[in-house]
Structure 1
Amino acid sequence: MGRLSLNTMVLLGAMAGLVSGLGAPQPVLDTAAVVSDLFIRLLRLVSAPIIFFALLSTLTGMKNTTHAKKLAGMVLKYSLLTTLIAATIALAVFLVIDPVRGVTGMTGTTEGTVTGGYGQYLLSLIPNSFVAPFVDNQIVSVLLLALLLSISILSLPERKRDILHELFDSLFSAIMRMTGLILLLLPLAVWSFVTDFCQTLENQQMLAAISLYVACILIANLIQAIIVLPGMLMLKGLPPWKIFKGILPTLTVAFFSKSSSAALPSAMENAEKKLGISSEISRFSFPLCITINMNACAAFILITVLFVSMTYGVTYSGLELVSWIFIATLAAFGNAGVPMGCYLLSSTILASMNIPLNIMGVILPVYALIDMLESAINVWSDTCVTSVINKEVNESDYIAINN
């Protein structure tokens, strides 16, 4: 099933869900409930392994030669910085717009609510065994384990590090094959989610909330793309408009293909020929950035998880909301290679929190448009990071030569 045909089937599933949700007999509604529960169970099955092996395969693939290590460190620094800023902006926009205000009538579990104080919550993130986070499907603990294990592996001799990277990369590929099979059920799952969702609508409150949610996504991403990233370029003495014009053909490819990877060849060519970035830096930075520099994905994950969970009654303290900045950043960091990227990661995190995914079925048709914007913004961020690194390397080389 091709990408276009899958999108068409998803749209048909959503339309069928609207029809059945507004006037189907009880047996159809019961069937929809079973299908949605099955899909959620399958998502929970792969959620923790996806994030664990994605982060491990990404981090352990970093080389340890002196020059490559220096460049990788610079890419990592700016990728983390811009992604953290994107997640912070997303939280601020979410709190200002408050898309869940006035929403009532949504029922479901609220196991995501944190009890016992924030200190107890932090303590609960440290597992008492290596397998406990996977058994309990605690995504935050899984991220923590992956991060600690990756740091440890990077300190090993090169031979052992390469063996482990190959192992984790192969396991990640296997998990993604399994995920691809699960996603074949997506049109049917969307039908079931929309059918269930139609039963919970009261006075179109959720339709208004969905509109505000989409506004949060768009505003947060546009602030990052129009203000934050150009601001970083100007701080480094680089002309944002000139860089934007030079990389515009690549952004067009990313927008319409909805894929950062598909835009990679164009990104490197335009960076070298139009922006004057050295081929060594371009061919190192862009592939690594496309893997780990996911500004728009972090914003999407944070806003989506908070929106859906709070709609179902989950509450968060101020410190817990701040913690989601780091959770979303780490989750986006391990996003590489995941089909439907940010959407699937958000769904798996929500599933691990035992939050109903009905609303995610309604968000999915809109996500096709959101994904286009996110892909372009991610590539724009990759370009900005690569441009900054190119200037810093040139300046350091100039200083070295003249000293």
Structure 2
Amino acid sequence: MDTLRIIINVAVMLVLIGVLVWMQKKHISFTKRVFTGLGLGLVFGVILQLAYGAGSEVISKSTDWFNLAGRGYVGLLQMVVIPLIMVSIISAIMNLKGKQNLGKMSGLIIAILLITTAIAAAVSIVTTLTFDLKAIEIEAGEREQKRGVALEERLGTVEGKTIPQQVLDFIPTNPFADMTGARSTSTLAVVIFSAFIGVAVLGLDKKKPEQADMFRKMVEAVYGVVMRIVTLVLRLTPYGILALITNVTATTNAEEILKLIKFVGASYVALIVMFIIHLILLAIFNYNPVQYLRKVLPTLVFAFTSRSSAAAIPLNVETQTKRLGVSDGIANLSASFGATIGQNGCAGVYPAMLAIMIAPTVGIDPLSWSFILTLILVVVISSFGVAGVGGGATFASLIVLSTMNLPVALAGLLISVEPLIDMGRTALNVNGSITAGVITGKVLGENDPEVFKRNADLDTVSV
């Protein structure tokens, strides 16, 4: 009987995918297809949970099939991330001309990411204190206790590292290993390696221009191929979002969320407030927040459902360059840096909230200014090199909590609502990197205002 139900569920998913295929053939806009996929997935997921229950075997096996479209899509995006970062940054740097300056671009992007992370931490602290969140009030079951033990074991890999040692981790001692994502700092290491190649080409221009020109032609050819792959993968976005949101909705345990509804609510209040701050910053630089929001929503929806800042890099870059008018170099740098440095949600909001919640359990006054200022500083420093995939927030929290001499095991109390909160955190991470790219381009005069003013859908550009 269960087999029949699974077959029916998979058949329904195929029908929903067919609806999206029909919409594409009718040339319905990319944005509308993305939101249709989101809506259909939400409804289908709710129906599945009501029919079978979140932890049922039918849902487990059905979502396993749905993952062919959902996690498969995320996997294809992750496949193209490293090649995209490499050829895009090499191409952007080796084609720098005149007033363009790599140091200014990189420095300004990183500065904006770190400043907004500090603001995110401050917002999180205020929110946590306002909601009066305390770790001691959360009941620890067997699952939470196991998670706490696992976190303490994982702490051994990051505990005791000084700031200079953490900085040394960014150096790509083996760039080929970093291309496989071997370390949490691999994406940043690939960015650094690619930047060195780009700078080397600029130096080669003066000594051996023929070789520099030959290398440029090779990179331009590879860049064209990679961007074509990106385009092909991005066309699958509506289908990926349909499957991803169906899985999340069908498997989310409503009872566990209700137990921690206060924490979930506080988390999303902090995330929304920080998102509004992003829009205010853009408005200060003469960007219409409403028009901006319309253009970035498909990218944020994907980040929300996939929970991977790194996987969102291709769509992030495409949105910045084709919809917001940001130059290729700045877009690629901000998207790449934003996946590993200064993540406003995972490295800003979350660790600060945990620290404030846990502090009273060891006799620390969370209202102490010395504690608060130290916490914000530690959050900003610890935001370097956080992996832009699921688990990045946990890694950031381990560093922050251990540096502040707080017990890391208590972070395991929130395991049941981690996926739900992580969706919002990831969307904020990606929006933070886009904001950094747009503002940097504006300050350096690299943005094309006409592209931002256009109301063209992403379909009419490349997808």
Q: For 1:303, which of 340, 345, 353 is the aligned residue? A: 345
TM-score, length of structure 2 as denominator length: 0.53
Q: For 2:109, which of 76, 79, 82 is the aligned residue? A: 79
How far has the Cα of 1:147 moved from its partner? Answer: 1.6
Give the Cα–Cα distance (whole angstroms) in 1 for the partners of residues 199 and 186 of structure 2: 20
Aligned to 2:13: none
Aligned to 1:208: 262
Q: For 2:161, which of 111, 119, 126 is the aligned residue? A: 119
Matches within 5 A, 1:87-236: 87-98=117-128, 102=135, 113-116=154-157, 117-119=159-161, 122=166, 129-133=174-178, 135=180, 137-156=182-201, 157=204, 158-159=212-213, 160-164=215-219, 166-168=221-223, 170-171=225-226, 173-174=228-229, 177-178=232-233, 180-181=235-236, 184-198=239-253, 201-205=256-260, 207-223=261-277, 226=280
Judging changes above 3 Å, is the alpha-carbon distance between structure 1 residues 349 and 73 closer, same or farther for their aligned structure 2 residues?
Answer: same
Give the Cα–Cα distance (whole angstroms) in 2 for the partners of residues 253 and 11 of structure 1: 22
Q: Which amino acid in structure 1 is aligned with residue 271 of structure 2?
A: I
Aligned to 1:326: 384
How far has the Cα of 1:155 moved from its partner? Answer: 1.0
Give the Cα–Cα distance (whole angstroms) in 2 for the partners of residues 292 and 365 of structure 1: 23
Q: How many residues align?
A: 337
Aligned to 1:385: 443
1:237-279 deviations in Å (ceiling 9; x for gaps): xxx5xx63xx54xx443222327977879977xxxxxxxxxxx
Conserved in 1, the CA contact under 8 Å of 2:45 and 2:247? yes
Matches within 5 A, 1:304-383: 304=346, 321-327=379-385, 346=389, 360=419, 377=435, 381-382=439-440
Conserved in 2, the CA contact under 8 Å of 1:56 and 1:146? yes
Pairwise CA RMSD: 5.3
Conserved in 1, the CA contact under 8 Å of 2:42 and 2:245? yes
Conserved in 1, the CA contact under 8 Å of 2:49 and 2:249? yes
Q: Which amino acid in structure 2 is aligned with residue 87 of structure 1?
A: T
Aligned to 1:17: 45
Give the Cα–Cα distance (whole angstroms) in 2 for the partners of residues 145 and 295 of structure 1: 9
1:54-95 deviations in Å (ceiling 9; x for gaps): 332332122557843645554443233222322332244335
Give the Cα–Cα distance (whole angstroms) in 1 for the partners of residues 391 and 161 of structure 2: 25
122-131 or 193-202, which deviates more: 122-131
Judging changes above 3 Å, is the alpha-carbon distance between structure 1 residues 33 and 133 closer, same or farther for their aligned structure 2 residues?
Answer: farther
Structure 2 unaligned segments of length 5 or more: list them.
Answer: 1-19, 21-29, 205-211, 298-315, 359-373, 397-411, 448-463
Tell me the SS of whatever aligns to 1:190: helix
Give the Cα–Cα distance (whole angstroms) in 2 for the partners of residues 93 and 197 of structure 1: 27
Aligned to 2:291: 253
Judging changes above 3 Å, is the alpha-carbon distance between structure 1 residues 34 and 53 closer, same or farther for their aligned structure 2 residues?
Answer: same
Tell me the SS of whatever aligns to 2:258: coil
Matches within 5 A, 1:25-36: 26-32=56-62, 34-35=64-65
Tell me the SS of whatever aligns to 1:68: coil
Aligned to 2:306: none
Judging changes above 3 Å, is the alpha-carbon distance between structure 1 residues 211 and 3 closer, same or farther for their aligned structure 2 residues?
Answer: same
Judging changes above 3 Å, is the alpha-carbon distance between structure 1 residues 50 and 263 closer, same or farther for their aligned structure 2 residues?
Answer: closer
Identity %: 11
Give the Cα–Cα distance (whole angstroms) in 2 for the partners of residues 65 and 54 of structure 1: 16
Q: Which amino acid in structure 1 is aligned with residue 44 of structure 2?
A: A
Give the Cα–Cα distance (whole angstroms) in 2 for the partners of residues 309 and 56 of structure 1: 30
Give the Cα–Cα distance (whole angstroms) in 1 for the partners of residues 82 and 61 of structure 2: 33
Aligned to 2:32: 4
Give the Cα–Cα distance (whole angstroms) in 2 for the partners of residues 67 and 129 of structure 1: 30
1:104-133 deviations in Å (ceiling 9; x for gaps): 667686579432424398477767754444
Q: Which amino acid in structure 2 is aligned with residue 85 of structure 1?
A: I
Tell me the SS of whatever aligns to 1:201: helix
